[in-house]
Amino acid sequence: MSEEEAVTQLREEVERLAVIVKEQEEKMKKQDTVSYAPDSVKPVVMMNPRRVNRFRDRPTSSSDPSITEWVSDVRTQAAYRKLSKTDFAVFMVDNLAGKARQEILGRGESTNKDPEEIIRILLKVFGDGDNLPMLQQRFYAYHQQEEDLISCSLNMVELYDKIIQHDASFAACRDAALKGRFAESVKDEGLRRELRWLNIESPALNIFELRDRAVHWLGRLVADKKSTINQEVQSASLEAGDSTNLLEVIKRQEAMIEKQQQQIDSILSKSGNTTNKYRKPLQCWTSGSINHKNRNCPQRRMENSRGRDNALNE
């Protein structure tokens, strides 16, 4: 192979390698472009709000919403959708049916374009008949009876939410009113003091957080009382056990004393019989007879009589 041919082959090989290198560089650039490309814009998924059931009349089954539940639902939907006052009124009328729809539409445009007026009328006609003053009186006169703290707090929340449905301006002081009234409505005097102190020291707590603190405090108090009662029961049991042991000791001692007394009586009885058995019979000192005593001795009387006769003869 000549020198020129060798140079030509080398030049071709270099060109071929250059092409390969260029292809590799382009391929790497494409990979880098893909790697560092910004993430594709993801579509924003908007969740459809929960469907509001149409309100027709007073509930006749468990699945029918009450007027208070329906009002709460439409208020939530209006806030979520950011509806204007007019749109809110249209939205409520669209979700009415039957007697409720007839009641609102029959009152004319002055009513069916005012959402608060629609709510007021529906609560008055299809609610429990309580007006705002009556609800306020029930709320501020509420006291815990036999229900637990959870039921007590939920009953108060329900009452206050009904007040808000009649007049939305009361929503601004909802937590403050509920916490203050809850602290005064519980039965336990110690818990009332604790809740008043919490309202002052922790004003940021909402009604449910305050209620949870109360449940925890009362549960701890009950646990302490149970512990004290258990200790008293155990102490009483120990005292009863000690008393039982003492009675048993006394009974054993009495039995031993009685047994010893029986032994003593037995010994004395045997001793008496032996003494009587070996005692000599009584006998007269003068005659030695055992049939009479010395003072009754005939021989002694005879001797005394002879002595007196001799004295007379002399």
314 residues of the chain, pLDDT tens digit each: 566 666 677 777 767 777 777 777 777 777 665 554 455 455 544 445 567 888 888 888 888 888 888 988 888 888 888 989 999 999 999 999 899 899 998 888 888 888 888 988 888 888 877 778 888 999 999 999 988 999 999 999 989 988 887 888 898 999 999 999 999 999 988 899 999 999 999 899 999 999 999 898 888 765 555 555 556 556 666 665 566 677 787 888 788 888 777 777 777 666 555 545 545 566 776 776 767 666 777 776 676 666 555 555 55
3-state secondary structure of 234: helix
CA distance 210 to 153: 10
Q: What angle do CA 201, 206, 210 make, to 5 degrees?
A: 65
Give the whole-angstrom CA distance, residue 155 versus residue 147.
Answer: 10
3-state class of 291 per DSSP?
coil
| Type of residue at 267 | I
Q: How many CB atoms lie within 10 A of CB 152?
A: 21
- Helix 67-81 crosses helix 149-166 at what angle (to 10 degrees)? 70
Token pair in block for residue 289? 């007879």
